């Protein structure tokens, strides 16, 4: 995420915590600190931000190609079904 985009988003939600790295976010937040995750990353990187949230049984909104490559689609489906 670019620094200017992060600043613009932070202005809309000034109390929201800011993270540029999803790994640091998951390491620093308890499950009770968040309800859902929005993942809007470049191709082939969304799974790294999405799967930890699914493992914590959180809601995930993902902005990315749905099934490219098909390997990621299979992983997404497997974790989504397990979380229901």
User: Domain extents for the chain?
Assistant: 3-83
- Among 20, 83, 24, which Cα is nearest to 51's? 83
Strand partners, 47: none
> In this structure, what are the phi and psi dihedrals at residue 39, rounded to the nearest 5 degrees?
-115, 115
The token pair at 43 is 């191709």
**pLDDT truncated to tens, each residue of the chain (84 aa)?**
577 877 888 899 888 887 878 899 999 999 999 998 888 777 677 778 888 998 898 988 887 665 555 666 666 666 665 555
């Amino acid at each position: 995420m670019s620094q200017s985009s992060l600043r613009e988003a932070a202005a809309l939600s000034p109390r929201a915590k800011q993270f540029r790295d999803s790994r640091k976010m998951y390491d620093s937040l308890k499950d009770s600190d968040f309800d859902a995750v929005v993942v809007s990353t470049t191709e082939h990187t969304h799974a790294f931000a999405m799967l930890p949230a699914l493992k914590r049984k959180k809601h995930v909104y993902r902005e990315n190609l749905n099934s490219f490559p098909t390997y990621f689609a299979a992983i997404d489906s497997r974790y989504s079904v397990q979380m229901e």
